[in-house]
C-alpha cells in the first residue's frame, strides 16, 4: 500500500528567549525589530514563563492526528510537520517527504479559517518547495465548518458558560487574530468565515448573546481589522455586561496570543471594567479536536480521488 503524506503546517515559536529576535525578524519578512519592539516581545514571553508551549503542543497534535488516521486502516498516512517561522520549516518537511518517496500529500494548516495573508502564505511556501520533484499537494484551504470542529468549539463554549454565575446573561465573544484591514478590499473570505463558524456554534447552543472581536493586531501603522478585544470589552461594560466568555476560535492551541493577549492583558482590562472574563479551553491535542482534523484530512484524500 502506498503511503499518503500529510504536510501539517503551523506557526512555530522560539524555543528560547535567545531565538526571539530571529523569530520576530522572520515574522516581519526580514525586517529586524527595533530594540524597544524586541524588548516588548521578550517581556510578553517572560510573562508566560519564558517560552510558549506552542511547539510541544504542535508536535503532540501531529502525533495524535497520525495515530487517529492510522487507527482504523492499514497504516497508510505519514504526518510531516513544517513551521512557517521556525525549524523544521515547511520546505524541510516537503524535502523529507520527497526523500521518503511520498508522491502525494494533503497539506493542512493548523488554522481553520482561510485568508490569503495567513493560510495562503503557508500554501505558497509548500507549493514552492514541492514545485521541483513533488510531492503532488492537495491543499486544504479552510475547515472552519467541519462538523466535529464545530462540536468541539460548542462543547468548550458550553463548558465556559457553565463557569459563569449567570450564563443566560453572559456575552460570548468569538475572537480571531486581526489582519490588516486591506484584506476587505481584496475579497478575502477570512471575516465571513469567522462569522460562519461563530454563528454555527451560536446556533448549536441557542446563544442569545454573542459577538465577534479581533485580537493581537500587529504593531504596524496601517489599519487592522477591529474593534480590538480590549475596546470591545469596554463597550460591553458600558452596555452592562458583567460576564464575558472569550472563545479564541481562530487558534487551536495554547500560545502567546492566548496565554498573554487573553489570559493576562484582556483579563486585566476586564477586571478594571468590572467584567469577569472566562476563556474557553483551547483544542490542543484533545481527542475530539484530533478526530475533527483527521476527518478533514480523510475528506481531502477522498476528494482528491
* CB 77 within 8 Å of CB 70: yes
Taking the complex as a whole, how short is the minimal distance between the CB of residue 289 and ligand FEC, in angstroms? 15
Q: Is 144 in the site for ligand FEC (CB under 6 A)?
A: no
Task: Give the strands of the sheet with 171-177, arranged side by side.
Answer: 210-215, 171-177, 243-247, 276-279
Considering only 52, 175, 197, 215, the residue that binds ligand FEC (CB under 6 A) is: 52
Taking the complex as a whole, how short is the minimal distance between the CB of residue 188 and ligand FEC, in angstroms? 11
User: Which parts of 234-293 interact with ligand FEC (CB under 6 A)?
Assistant: 250-251, 255-257
Closest CA to 280 of 248, 252, 233, 243: 248
User: Which parts of 93-112 interact with ligand FEC (CB under 6 A)?
Assistant: 111
Of 27 and 205, nearer to ligand FEC (C-beta) is 27
Considering only 15, 25, 28, 230, the residue that binds ligand FEC (CB under 6 A) is: 28
Considering only 4, 54, 201, 245, the residue that binds ligand FEC (CB under 6 A) is: 54
Of 56 and 298, nearer to ligand FEC (C-beta) is 56
| Binding residue count for ligand FEC, defined by CB under 6 A | 20
Only one of the segments 69-77, 97-105, 212-220, 273-281 lies at the binding site for ligand FEC (rule: CB under 6 A); that segment is 212-220
C-alpha cell at 133: 520533484
Q: Is 142 in the site for ligand FEC (CB under 6 A)?
A: no
Taking the complex as a whole, how short is the minimal distance between the CB of residue 24 and ligand FEC, in angstroms? 6
Q: Is 41 in the site for ligand FEC (CB under 6 A)?
A: yes
Taking the complex as a whole, how short is the minimal distance between the CB of residue 295 and ligand FEC, in angstroms? 20
Longest alpha-carbon distance in the chain: 62
* CB 86 within 8 Å of CB 24: no
Residues that bind ligand FEC (CB under 6 A): 11, 13, 24, 27-28, 41, 52, 54, 111, 118, 177, 179, 218-220, 250-251, 255-257
Amino acid at each position: 500500500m502506498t503511503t499518503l503524506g500529510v504536510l501539517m503546517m503551523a506557526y512555530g515559536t522560539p524555543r528560547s528567549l535567545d531565538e526571539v529576535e530571529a523569530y520576530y525578524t522572520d515574522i516581519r519578512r526580514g525586517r529586524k525589530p527595533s530594540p524597544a519592539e524586541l524588548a516588548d516581545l521578550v517581556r510578553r514571553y517572560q510573562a508566560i514563563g519564558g517560552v510558549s508551549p506552542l511547539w510541544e503542543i504542535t508536535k503532540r497534535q501531529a502525533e495524535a492526528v497520525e495515530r487517529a488516521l492510522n487507527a482504523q486502516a492499514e497504516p497508510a498516512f505519514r504526518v510531516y510537520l513544517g513551521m512557517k517561522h521556525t525549524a523544521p520549516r515547511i520546505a524541510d518537511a516537503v524535502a523529507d517527504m520527497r526523500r521518503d518517496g511520498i508522491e502525494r500529500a494533503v497539506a493542512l494548516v493548523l488554522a481553520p479559517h482561510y485568508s490569503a495573508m495567513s493560510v495562503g502564505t503557508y500554501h505558497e511556501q509548500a507549493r514552492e518547495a514541492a514545485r521541483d520533484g513533488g510531492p503532488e499537494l492537495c491543499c486544504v484551504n479552510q475547515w472552519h465548518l467541519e462538523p466535529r470542529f464545530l462540536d468541539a468549539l460548542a462543547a468548550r463554549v458550553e463548558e465556559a458558560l457553565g463557569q459563569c454565575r449567570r450564563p443566560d446573561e453572559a456575552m460570548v465573544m468569538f475572537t480571531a487574530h486581526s489582519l490588516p484591514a486591506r484584506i476587505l478590499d481584496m475579497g478575502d473570505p477570512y471575516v465571513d468565515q469567522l462569522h460562519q463558524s461563530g454563528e454555527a456554534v451560536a446556533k448549536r447552543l441557542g446563544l442569545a448573546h454573542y459577538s465577534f472581536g479581533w485580537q493581537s493586531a500587529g504593531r504596524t501603522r496601517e489599519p487592522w481589522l477591529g474593534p480590538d478585544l480590549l475596546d470591545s470589552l469596554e463597550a460591553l461594560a458600558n452596555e452592562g455586561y458583567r460576564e464575558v466568555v472569550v472563545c479564541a476560535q481562530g487558534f487551536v492551541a495554547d500560545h502567546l496570543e492566548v496565554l498573554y493577549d487573553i489570559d493576562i492583558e484582556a483579563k486585566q482590562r476586564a477586571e478594571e471594567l468590572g467584567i469577569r472574563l472566562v476563556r474557553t479551553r483551547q483544542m490542543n491535542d484533545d481527542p475530539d479536536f484530533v478526530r475533527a482534523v483527521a476527518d478533514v484530512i480523510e475528506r481531502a484524500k477522498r476528494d482528491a480521488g
